[in-house]
Structure 1
Amino acid sequence: MITRQLAEEIVEQTMIRLNRNLNVMDPNGMILASGESERIEKIHEGAAHVARSGETLSITEADLAEWHGVKPGINMPIHFQGKLVGVIGITGNPEELTEISTLVQLTTEMMVHQSLITSHIEWNRKRNELIFEELTSGKPLSAAVHERIFQMDFEGKMSFVTLLIELKKPPSPSHRIIEQLEGHFQKQTVVAGHSQLNEIFLLVANEEPSLMEEELYGLLHFLQKSAPGRIGVGVAVDSIFDIRTSYLAARNALDFGAPGQQLVYFEDVELMALLKRNPQDDLAKFTGRILAGLSEPLCETLTAYFASNKSHTETADRLKIHRHTLSYRLKKILDITGLDPSEFQDAVVLHLALAIRI
């Protein structure tokens, strides 16, 4: 069905080019938009006839007595996907309008097609966003969402993965970036949309897990060219109804991944996520107790030491210090904390304290 807004746009855009009055009518013959504003919302009997017959109707001065609410002109059906959705009328002498009428009809149907297709895509996306929101809310699903999920084709899709894409700035236009992301995964994408202003979700069918990493790096490469951002990858789940688990994992990946890390798997931050779920006061007490007395340079030394897998040579190179200086600092850390960074158990405690300090 043609909306009043679309009808007004058709009349405005077409009249600019034709310099003739146009009317757009609904399938009942009511005028939705017209260059003659006094005719809006009145019934055009000629248009109603066109809607019933599906055939173009020319009305001359001599025919006016046969029709109510009409003027001379040509009235043509407007079709969308094989269905009649309205009627377009050009006011004037039909003999003078013959050459341009077919072009007007074609142009109108193209405008209708573009508008209705775009509206349909946007409606589907909004619906998908509502489905995703309900699936990840942790609350019972509505009957409408249940019905829609069962209508979707999940045949052959053994597992699902949630991807959260955090963009540096809002995409413009936002629908275009989502279409491009959907196209990247093609048939693997189940639903996509906005989860937040600067964040897009993709619920992907994980049909070939071995290819997922390759796909993700390709996606990351695409983002860096068009919409720079980060990707959080959730865990795979075996049922669409378990997507909340995958979503929360992807959320944790973004929340606890290093700021400069562009592709973050939940597995990379799982331990950190588990620890950070504890009360902040408890975390602060733990880090304060373990790291008490350590200066910032000593903390930086420990961070570099663990990042270098406890290699003295690599750590010294990172910090641009002599190996003897490094040994001195590690000995000082042991003296202050009572924990030896070179010992596995003590290193774990120190590493966690550094990682979760506030």
Structure 2
Amino acid sequence: MKFLNKALAQEIVNRTMKIINRNINVMNDKGVIIGSGDKSRIDSIHEGAVKVIENQSGFEIESLEVEKLHGVMAGINLPINFNNQVVGVIGITGSPEEIRSYGELVKMAAEMILQQAVLLDEMQWDQRLKEELISQLLHESDNLNAHYFERVKRIGIDLAIPRIAIILTVDDHSKVFKTIRDRLEKEDLYVMQPDHLVILKNVSMKDSRWNSAKVMNEMEHWAGYLEKNQGVRCKISIGNYHPTLRGISESFHDAVMTSVVGARLDPLKTIYFFEDYKIPVFLAKANKLGMGEELTDYYHQLKQFDKKGELVDTLMAFIEENGDTNAITSKLFIHRNTVRYRLDRIMELTGKDPRKVKDLLELYLSIIKNQIT
């Protein structure tokens, strides 16, 4: 593994030159200068560094020796060690007598910067791997093999923990990423996707049921915090819980479809919960499979003779108020006789009586189908 590259070498140069007011060179394991306060020396061979690598120890160059070696100036050159290997050399330009006391300090600083960089790279690699594994869980749950489960175990993901999928959508999710990440629990998982952040939230179970109220409260808190403290309006879609490993993918697709139909039916809402949109989600899935065409289009039959939308509004109020005439009249500011007349008119135009459960269901499905497509 190549621990030192030009970017990291130059970072070491820049940071160590702030410690001492001397030029610093960083050479790779071949003795090539890859970072320097003197840009003209980059990519040249430093013979002093070559000797350090060969002998695995420091090498000082006095002014009188400069002409005997290629590409060097007076100074001290010390090995950069990582994992008990010499992976490069750091050189300080100047009279050895004057800079000798700085040598170990600069060497230690260089090794610390290298260690931090490697650790950060490993952490980022682990996170990228974790996101890849989560993405496979969401999209390829039927094709997971033994190699997948080995990698999951190595990265420390416990797939036995019950989780539901949550989709958080904002215009710039990178802006709120840290805020949300800081609020996740240890067993929560997440993956950034182009249009949204997917969170696999661990849930508490009791008698085979998950605590949806707790999750809803938490999502309301998140949404409120983001709007109040960061001025960000978000949309949150919560999938349903499904047992088994494949259930994670099912929950994710629930959340996706809930997000779509929720935005169509209730565009002003912030949080969409699958349980509140089961029928619209079912219809949306049926439409994707080409099965929605079997529903008679009662909606357009009504609209053809209902330019103001009064019949559809009355029908939806009838559904939302569970047929309570007093509630309907209060909601629409009409007389009860008007309610009766409009329901009769709906039956006359569609052949379906809203006061009969089966007929009402067909009318309702037709309206919902139109709203979500």
Paired position in structure 2 for 1:194? 192
Between the aligned partners of 1:203 and 1:77, the Cα distance in structure 2 is 46
Contact 1:313–1:323 (CA under 8 A) maintained in structure 2: yes
SS of residue matched to 1:333: helix
Between the aligned partners of 2:52 and 2:113, the Cα distance in structure 1 is 23
Q: Please say if 1:339 is aligned against 2:339.
A: no
Unaligned regions of 5+ residues in structure 2, if any? Answer: none
Aligned partner letter, 2:292: L
SS of residue matched to 1:252: helix
Paired position in structure 2 for 1:164? 167
State the Cα distance separating 1:200 from its structure 2 match.
Answer: 1.1
| Count of residue pairs brought into register by the alignment | 351
Unaligned regions of 5+ residues in structure 1, if any? Answer: none
Change (3 A) 1:323 1:121: farther
State the Cα distance separating 1:143 from its structure 2 match.
Answer: 5.9
What percentage of residue pairs aligned between the two structures are identical? Answer: 25
Change (3 A) 1:290 1:237: closer
State the Cα distance separating 1:40 from its structure 2 match.
Answer: 1.8
Alignment of 1:1-358 (within 5 A): 1-11=3-13, 20-27=22-29, 29-34=31-36, 35-40=38-43, 42-46=45-49, 49=52, 59-61=61-63, 69-75=71-77, 86-97=88-99, 112=114, 115-138=117-140, 140-141=143-144, 144-154=147-157, 157-167=160-170, 169-171=171-173, 174=174, 177-190=176-189, 192-195=190-193, 197-207=194-204, 209-210=210-211, 211-224=214-227, 225-226=229-230, 227-240=232-245, 242-257=247-262, 258-279=266-287, 283=292, 286-289=295-298, 291-294=300-303, 295=306, 296-357=309-370, 358=373
State the Cα distance separating 1:30 from its structure 2 match.
Answer: 3.5
What is the TM-score normalised by the length of structure 1? 0.78
Change (3 A) 1:15 1:264: same
**Structure 1 stretch displaced more, 114-123 or 253-262:** 114-123
Q: Deviations over 1:161-199 (max 9, x none)?
A: 2222222x123xx2x643432321230223x2222x221
Between the aligned partners of 2:361 and 2:330, the Cα distance in structure 1 is 23
Q: Calculate the aligned-residue CA RMSD, in Å.
A: 3.9
Change (3 A) 1:251 1:279: closer
Between the aligned partners of 2:7 and 2:168, the Cα distance in structure 1 is 34
Q: Deviations over 1:97-152 (max 9, x none)?
A: 46776776676567556654554443333222321232233352366533211224
State the Cα distance separating 1:292 from its structure 2 match.
Answer: 0.9
Contact 1:159–1:238 (CA under 8 A) maintained in structure 2: yes
Aligned partner letter, 1:349: E
Contact 1:64–1:71 (CA under 8 A) maintained in structure 2: yes
Q: Deviations over 1:271-295 (max 9, x none)?
A: 3222222347753563524651342
Q: Deviations over 1:207-232 (max 9, x none)?
A: 56434344333333344344432222
State the Cα distance separating 1:348 from its structure 2 match.
Answer: 1.9
